[in-house]
Structure 1
């Protein structure tokens, strides 16, 4: 959550905007309403979702699309508190992607709602009124997100769900994210490997999920539970419990303390992101649990998470290179802005919107499981964190041992 933090679920019908706005995978199948977008001519670049790199060179192939396109691309990001990614990574990477493709600063606009759904609604309305032709929407909740998208569709604006699937949105839209079931599988596989590497005897595992209202959290759980269930079934591992999930670290810490008090035999935890893992690790350190004895997992490749890995309190983290997701979303927006159907090499999957019962055309990028062994070749090499930041203080010796300098 990254987490990534979370994608958005929905609990009912699409919520209207009120007076402010009144008056895993198969080949993508365009919806009937997609006919309003013309098929890309043979000369159009056929960008592949697997081709994006950290140097943004693929975006330079899309300058022709940028010159053909009309209208502004509006980007609506959710907040600055639940994850640092939106300020540190998404906004600058999206900016870099659009600029590399040739858009000027007046041709795209990136807003952050700072945790307020009503602020995002106002930002969306401003973009639509300013002539936006494409909106990237990463909302705080499904109701407001779906209402924004309905308003955009009514105004002829193309919509892309960015990172979070907005269940209940219009059928003719796109979704860009990482394969979140694959993220969960990496977490589960990482837990299994760590239990072996750390020689944990008779694993008694507590599974801690993300927020139950979050569609991404459900997909993560689908992935790691799918990996772990056979071990529970054959009695190799014991599943102690799976309490109600959260993305709030303080709540995760309280939940873990309660579970650990009630079940002192717990000796491993599946934690779905680095922030929640860090909260659990703080409790373990308070209880003087030694390093490399009590596995935890994570995702987001946050600085605390990476340091916890190096010091032996976390098995690994799912690294989701946001520069891949940002470029995929920007490329998709450029095709739509130019009135062209994105190629199947870019739109590489579909995702089920369970509320409307439709398959949403999707672009999935690939996550990476990061441990001490490949940290230098992944997050450090990509510049997601610098060696000086990572190796500060008591982490220096662990960095040296991992070949990071």
Structure 2
């Protein structure tokens, strides 16, 4: 979940060369009674109540996801769940498109231009960085196209809505997970290495706010010499490993690592395993509820992970897009808050209408009643020949030896 460093994009002249499409007038008709941010479920049945709005709307909805490196979630969860949500809402397959920029800011921008040219009326964008996101939103607004920031807020942008989780709360879950794990694993004289996500990703900033506050409250600080905070942060796993190796070489007594997602934790855990790391000795944290993350959790190398139900986020975003495509104002039961844009270019853009969803901290003890119950991961996937330590655990696996 990251923003890549922005590449320079050619500026786009927005005057004189074309006629600007008029922004559609938003109806206040509720459209789909009962649709709220808490009404979605794993069967996607709530989406059917949006079929009348889908029939009313004009043009298409374009989704542009960021990459496949920062998290496997975009291919494993977001893309298929968004497709399922749109179809369940009554859209035809030619009325939406789901793309991935593959880490290229240029691709993300040109995809947005092409989508608008082909008739997209709503863009759902998880921007690689705020510079690119703001350029996309400026271009979209000039063409009468509405934009929803998906998962990450574009700072200094001009989108209409934002759909994500409460990301400071996500960070707090990571921090609480670490402090609980230090106690549960009986870590003596903890020396915590606090890692960060990419600084160009506003979510990474919010996560850090959450877990750094929890750790500070628990008594961890650089001044007390029980906390190390180094590096600018990254969402590239190999870079996270390099950062860790540098810190660990200089501080071999590091025995707890706050990693902001599963992907960053995985190569570090593998590296330490090659050095003889035993289960439940050095706790790691995570986020995104990935298969690798859960294998590390069940095997005793990672404390837990923040589970953000992507099926919930995808449905909320798809529902919001269907409302906007139909020219209908979304109900307050769906849009449940606002998010501050600290780089807003005007007073009207400072507080972004938002759908803010709730995440959950999941451990080996709770995996059965969360991600397995939600069918995000099958129990059999956690028990593989490539994860022998998992096979010996009976917390959730039917294939345990």
TM-score scaled by length of structure 1: 0.89
SS in 1 for 2:373: helix
CA contact (8 A) 2:129 2:200 kept: no
1:232 is displaced (CA, Å) by 2.4
Q: Which residue of 2 aligns with 1:350?
A: 338
CA contact (8 A) 2:166 2:358 kept: yes
Q: Which residue of 1 aligns with 2:394?
A: 400
Alignment partners' CA distance in 2, 1:64 and 1:269:
50
Q: Which residue of 2 aligns with 1:65?
A: 53
Q: Which residue of 1 aligns with 2:272?
A: 284
Q: Which residue of 2 aligns with 1:388?
A: 380
Change over 3 Å in CA distance of 1:282–1:270 after alignment to 2 = same
Alignment partners' CA distance in 1, 2:3 and 2:375:
25
1:223 to 172, 196, 210: 210
Does residue 147 of structure 1 match 2:143? no
Change over 3 Å in CA distance of 1:312–1:215 after alignment to 2 = same
1:50 is displaced (CA, Å) by 1.3
1:20 is displaced (CA, Å) by 8.7
CA contact (8 A) 2:380 2:398 kept: no
Q: Which residue of 2 aligns with 1:200?
A: 187
1:398 is displaced (CA, Å) by 3.9
Change over 3 Å in CA distance of 1:402–1:387 after alignment to 2 = closer
SS in 1 for 2:218: helix
Number of aligned positions between the proteins: 387
Change over 3 Å in CA distance of 1:56–1:325 after alignment to 2 = same
1:271 is displaced (CA, Å) by 0.6
1:40 to 26, 29, 32: 29
How is 1:6-405 mapped onto 2 (pairs within 5 angstroms)? 6=2, 17-19=10-12, 23=17, 36-41=25-30, 44-170=32-158, 173-232=160-219, 238-356=226-344, 358-393=350-385, 394-402=388-396, 404=398
Change over 3 Å in CA distance of 1:303–1:237 after alignment to 2 = farther
What 5-or-longer segments of structure 1 have no aligned partner? Answer: 24-32
What 5-or-longer segments of structure 2 have no aligned partner? Answer: none
Alignment partners' CA distance in 1, 2:49 and 2:316:
13
Q: Could you tell which deviates more after superposition, 190-199 or 356-365? A: 356-365
Q: Could you tell which deviates more after superposition, 239-248 or 222-231? A: 239-248
Following TM superposition, where does structure 1 have runs of at least 4 consecutive aligned residues deviating by more than 4 angstroms?
A: 7-11, 19-22, 233-237
Alignment partners' CA distance in 2, 1:375 and 1:104:
35
Change over 3 Å in CA distance of 1:404–1:316 after alignment to 2 = farther
1:156 is displaced (CA, Å) by 1.1
Q: Could you tell which deviates more after superposition, 389-398 or 216-225? A: 389-398
SS in 1 for 2:300: coil
Alignment partners' CA distance in 2, 1:185 and 1:8:
24
CA contact (8 A) 1:8 1:166 kept: no
Alignment partners' CA distance in 2, 1:21 and 1:283:
50
Alignment partners' CA distance in 1, 2:125 and 2:64:
5
1:35 is displaced (CA, Å) by 9.5
Change over 3 Å in CA distance of 1:333–1:263 after alignment to 2 = same
TM-score scaled by length of structure 2: 0.90
CA contact (8 A) 1:8 1:167 kept: no
1:206-229 CA-to-partner distances (Å, cap 9, x unmatched) read: 101111221111110001011110
1:250 is displaced (CA, Å) by 1.4
1:321 is displaced (CA, Å) by 1.2
1:16 is displaced (CA, Å) by 6.5
Q: Which has the higher contact order (CA 8 A, sep 6+)?
A: 1
CA contact (8 A) 2:192 2:258 kept: yes
Change over 3 Å in CA distance of 1:227–1:79 after alignment to 2 = same
Alignment partners' CA distance in 2, 1:250 and 1:50:
37
Alignment partners' CA distance in 2, 1:165 and 1:236:
34
SS in 2 for 1:38: coil
Q: Could you tell which deviates more after superposition, 75-84 or 100-109? A: 75-84
1:138-186 CA-to-partner distances (Å, cap 9, x unmatched) read: 122222221111111111111101111111211x510111111111011
SS in 1 for 2:219: helix
Alignment partners' CA distance in 1, 2:13 and 2:291:
40
